[in-house]
Amino acid sequence: MPFNTLDYFVIAAYVVLLIVVAYIAKKRGQQSLDDYFAGGKDLPWWLVGVSMVATTFAADTPLAITGIVASQGIAGNWFWWSWMISGIITVFIYAKLWKRADVLTDCEFIELRYGGKPASFLRGFRALYFAFPFNCVIMGWVTVGMAKVMSVITGASQWEIIIVLYGMTALYIAISGLWGVVVTDFIQFFIAMIGSIALAYFAVDHVGGLDALKSQLGDVVEFDILSFNPFNNPEIPIVTALIWVGMAWWAAWYPGAEPGGGGYIAQRMFSAKDERNAVGGTLLFNIANYAVRPWPWILVALVSLVVFPELTDKEAGYPMMMAEVLPVGWFGLLCVAFLSAFVSTISTQLNWGTSYVINDFYARFIKKENEFDSPEAAQKHYVFISRIATIGMAGVAIVVSYFFDSVKGGWEFILSLSAGIGGVMLLRWFWWRINAWSEISAMIAATVGAIVSKVIGLDFAGSMIATTSFSTVVWLIATFITKPETEETLSTYFAQVRPMGKGWAPFSGGKLSHERLFPALLDVALSLMAIISFLMGMGELFFGDLITGISFLVGGTIATWVVVRKI
């Protein structure tokens, strides 16, 4: 479908928005790393939460979901829906702990929790490891998703699109810092949601409505594509479903669903004005991410199977539906929706990755603050280097993008590469015996396990089981054969973070936290019930029974109300 004048106007208006926000952010002042990487640590919960979900609203996600639905049905989404478990646990157990840590990055937290040379090594190594291999792989698959969309609707080559998009995004984030990212995230989320819902409406209307869609799906798909049950799906092996629901959410590191929180989720929690806003923002993120976003994408994916049944690259069905059904004006808005989703994700990844490089490597090991004439001069220098590093990291991400052709493949690669490190990340807050060597050995063992699994030809489920088992055994052995952290280090950590439970009794000075684990776990259960009820309720409204759908939605609303009123 060719662009119309109205489409060009909508796209131009979005670019002007970015320029205005970047200008305001620059005028607002970025005098320190706290300003540049944490927005001054004074953001409200609603801005924090919407920014989190806007970051996960990447251009790659609807393409990946289209591919998942085509091959495994709606139930295939449990591949990522299962991450809601770790997300909700982060809300009620870890969010307040992260805020109390009062650090700039989760890598900086390492030298609060551990001490000595092992902690220093782990902080620097983890910063570079996650800033480049992991972060650039993430940006690589996000870029592939966006390039697929833009090449389908514009006819331009993927590399022309990638270079233009990265040039614009890197310049924007280098100028605006996290404050600019968060503000535009807020606007971009609503643009992206409106665009996604509009496309779903036009797509369903194109095939004659929901009843007609359900009937036509039976002609092109040989299994129950509308089922939510991953354990009764011939396209999903039982062991794979068990890995999704029982292991992936706690065992592996994944951006936006890190066990115990971390990455840009932790960065947003650090930027909140207080513990209550950190908890509220993280809860908003999980509800919006898992309960609000998926259905417009799923509907378009289902329609694409009917309209393009012979399509080889099923992920391309999503942008092809844009070109197929969107009227003038709406086509431009959907392009802006994808552009905003891409900019939101890449700007966060660049800002977050650069925070590791500068705060946890450059400022920690290369040019320390005491080498400057004043703290102000040091911060000014660090912010300047951060801008340069942002542009440099964008260049690396462009190169990495060359090696990806499947979005879902990138997701599985990250999960396999980090399998087993989640246990350490969850337990380090509550078990004093874990030390820096625990994390170091877990990371090394996970990498080795993933490589060996790939070499011997294990599938995703086999790789997850083997790597998680291997790395867990390795880090437990490393924990017990190495010395614990010093009493001073452990006492300082407890005094600042105040984790719940009796695991820190020897270092609490007789003042254990008054918080209890059971009420937090009850809130976790209610929140999971709410999100699943919203998901299934919408499914019933679209393809099942009206009364059942309304009942699910009412139940989810009540559960949400019970939880929110206690925050």
> What are the tens digits of pLDDT across the range 376-393?
899 999 999 998 988 888
Compute the distance between CA of residue 320 and CA of residue 379 in angstroms, rounded to an integer. 47
Q: Tell whether the model's pLDDT for residue 535 goes beyond 80.
A: yes
Work out the pLDDT band at 88, boundaries 50, 70, 90: very high
For residue 328, the model assigns a pLDDT of 77
- Tell me the C-alpha distance between 184 and 99, whole Å: 23
Token output for 48: 């924090």
> Cα–Cα distance between 343 and 97 in angstroms, integer?
30
| Three-class SS state of 252 | coil
> Cβ neighbours of residue 503 under 8 Å, at least 6 residues apart?
430, 431, 432
Given the structure tokens 């996960």, which residue do they identify?
56
**Residues paired with residue 36 on neighbouring β-strands, in sequence order:** none
CA geometry: angle at 192 spanning 190 and 197, to 5°?
Answer: 95
Residue type, 152: V
User: How do the domains of the chain map onto residue ranges?
Assistant: 5-418, 519-567
Is the per-residue pLDDT at 177 higher than 90?
no
Q: Note the pLDDT tens digit of each residue in 457-511.
A: 888 888 889 999 999 999 999 999 999 999 999 999 998 998 887 778 787 776 7
Answer yes or no: CATH 1.20.1730.10 is held by domain 5-418. Answer: yes
DSSP for residue 419: T
Contact by Cβ (8 Å): 44, 277: yes
Higher pLDDT, 310 or 1: 310
Q: Which residue has the higher pLDDT, 25 or 322?
A: 322
**Residue 482 neighbours by CB distance under 10 Å:** 15
Contacts of 307-316 with C-beta under 8 Å, sequence gap 24+, read: 307/206, 307/207, 309/220, 314/66, 314/67, 314/70, 314/71, 315/63, 315/64, 315/66, 315/67, 315/145, 315/148, 315/406, 315/407, 315/408, 316/63, 316/148, 316/152
Structural contact between residues 223 and 235, judged by C-beta atoms closer than 8 angstroms: yes
Average pLDDT over residues 193-222: 92
- 362-377 pLDDT per residue, tens: 999 999 988 888 988 9
Both tokens assigned to 159: 């590399």
What SS3 state is found at 272? strand
Residue-wise pLDDT tens digits, 280-316? 999 999 999 999 899 999 999 999 999 999 888 888 8
Q: How far is CA 464 from each of CA 85, 239, 249, 468, 474, rounded to the nearest angstrom?
A: 18, 11, 11, 6, 15
User: What residues contact 554, with CB distance under 8 A and at least 6 apart?
Assistant: none
- Measured CA angle at 533 (ends 559, 544), to 5 deg: 145
pLDDT of residue 408: 57
* CA 399 distance to own-chain centroid: 22
| Residues 246-284: tens digit of each pLDDT | 988 898 887 788 899 988 999 999 999 999 999 999 999
How far from each other are the two terminal CA atoms of the chain, in whole angstroms? 48
Q: What is the reported pLDDT for 175? A: 81
- With CA atoms as reference, report the closest residue to 563 among 299, 279, 205: 279
- Compute, in degrees rounded to 10, the torsion defined by CA atoms 32, 34, 37, 42: -130
CA distance 362 to 124: 9
Lowest mean pLDDT across 264-268, 412-416, 437-441: 412-416
Q: Centre a 10 Å sphere on the Cβ of residue 545 and count the other Cβ atoms it contains.
A: 10
Q: What is the average per-residue pLDDT within 336-361?
A: 87
Q: 108-157 pLDDT, tens per residue?
A: 999 999 999 999 999 999 999 888 877 887 887 777 777 777 777 677 77
Cα torsion 378, 379, 382, 387: sign: negative
Q: Give the per-residue pLDDT at 497.
A: 92
Q: How far apart are CA 407 and CA 71, in angstroms?
A: 14
Task: Tell me the whole-structure pTM to 2 decimals.
Answer: 0.89
Query: What is the token pair recorded at 261?
Result: 């929180």
CA Rg value for the chain = 23
Is the pLDDT at 455 greater than 80? The verdict is: yes
In 114-209, which ranges are continuous DSSP H helix? 116-129, 135-154, 158-206
**Full DSSP string of 43-92:** B-HHHHHHHHHHHH--THHHHHHHHHHHHH-GGGGHHHHTTHHHHHHIII
Looking at residue 122, its pLDDT comes to: 96
Between 8-17, 78-87, 214-223, 529-538, the lowest mean confidence (pLDDT) is in: 8-17
8 Å CB contact between 92 and 527: yes
Q: What is the mean pLDDT of the chain?
A: 88
Indicate the pLDDT class of residue 409, thresholds 50, 70 and 90.
Answer: low
**pLDDT (0 to 100) of residue 555:** 96
Interval 35-56 mean pLDDT: 90
- Cα–Cα separations (whole angstroms), residue 438 to 260, 471, 477, 487, 496: 16, 10, 8, 17, 22
Residue with tokens 């984030």: 173
**Average pLDDT over every residue of 11-24:** 82
> pLDDT category, 554, cuts 50, 70, 90?
very high
- Look at residue 410 in the predicted model and tell me its pLDDT: 63
- Give yes or no for a contact between 213 and 204, defined as CB atoms under 8 angstroms apart: yes
Q: How far apart are CA 486 and CA 492, in angstroms?
A: 10
